[in-house]
Homo-oligomer: A and B are copies of this chain.
Amino acid sequence: MAEHTKIPYKIYLEENEIPTAWYNLRADMKNKPAPLLNPGTLRPMTAQELQDVFCDELVAQELNDTTAYIPIPQEIQDFYKMYRPSPLVRAYCLEEKLQTPAKIYYKFEGNNTSGSHKLNSAIAQAYYAKKQGLKGVTTETGAGQWGTALSMACSYFGLDCLVYMVKVSYEQKPFRREVMRTYGATVTPSPSMTTEVGKKILAEHPGTTGSLGCAISEAVEAESTRDGYRYVLGSVLNQVLLHQTIIGLETKAALDKYKIVPDIIIGCAGGGSNLGGLISPFVGEMVRGERNYRIIAVEPASCPSFTRGVFAYDFCDTGKVCPLAKMYTLGSGFIPSANHAGGLRYHGMSPVLSQLYHDGIMEAISVEQSAVFDAAVRFARVEGILPAPESSHAIRAAIDEALKCKETGEEKTIVFGLTGTGYFDMAAYEKYNNGEMQDYIPGQEELQKGFDGIPRFPGNEF
Residues of A within 8 A of B (CB): 8-10, 12, 14-15, 79, 81-83, 89, 93, 111-113, 115, 152, 155-156, 174-175, 178-179, 181-184, 377, 380-386, 421, 423-424, 426-427, 429-430, 432-433
The residues of B that contact A81 with a CB separation of less than 8 Å are: 8-10
Q: Does B8 contact A430, Cβ atoms closer than 8 Å? A: no
Q: Which residue on chain B has the smallest CB distance to residue A158?
A: B381
The list of the 7 closest CB pairs from A to B, nearest first, reads: A175-B426, A9-B81, A178-B426, A8-B15, A423-B423, A113-B386, A155-B381
A111–B423 Cα distance when bound, in Å, is 12
- Measured in the bound complex, the distance between the Cα atoms of B196 and A303 in whole Å is 52
Q: Which residues of B contact A14 (CB under 8 A)?
A: 8
Copies in the complex: 2
**Nearest opposing residue in chain B for A426, CB measure:** B175
Q: Given A15-B8, A175-B427, is A384 in contact with B182 using a C-beta cutoff of 8 Å?
A: no
15 contacts between A and B (CB under 8 A): A8-B81, A9-B82, A82-B89, A82-B93, A82-B384, A113-B385, A113-B386, A113-B421, A156-B384, A175-B424, A175-B430, A178-B430, A179-B429, A181-B433, A184-B381
* Cβ-closest chain B residue relative to A8: B15
Assembly CA distance A113 to B426 (angstroms): 13
Smallest CB-CB separation from A13: which chain B residue? B12
CB of A12, distance to nearest CB on chain B (Å): 5
A79 and B384 CA atoms in complex are apart in Å by: 9
| B386 engages A182 (CB within 8 Å) | yes
**A111 touching B113, Cβ below 8 Å:** no
Are the C-beta atoms of B183 and A381 separated by less than 8 Å? Answer: yes
Which of chain B's residues has its CB closest to A89's CB?
B82
B182 touches A377 (CB 8 A): yes
| Closest CB in chain B relative to A143 CB, distance in Å | 14
Instruction: Output the least CB separation between A173 and chain B (Å).
Output: 10
B429 touches A182 (CB 8 A): yes
- Contact status B12-A12, CB under 8 Å: yes
Closest beta carbon of chain B to A376's beta carbon, Å:
9
CB distance from A249 to the nearest CB of B (A): 18
In angstroms, Cα B181 to Cα A382, docked, is 15
Distance of A424 Cα from B179 Cα, bound (Å): 10
- Identify A380's interface contact among B183, B380, B384, B429, CB under 8 A: B183
- Name A175's contact: one of B9, B152, B175, B381 (CB within 8 Å): B175
The answer for the CA separation of A429 and B180 in the assembled complex, in Å, is 11
Q: How far is the CA of A7 from the CA of B430 in the complex (A)?
A: 43
Chain B residues with CB under 8 Å of A174's CB are 426
The reply to whether A112 and B15 form a contact with Cβ atoms under 8 Å apart is: no
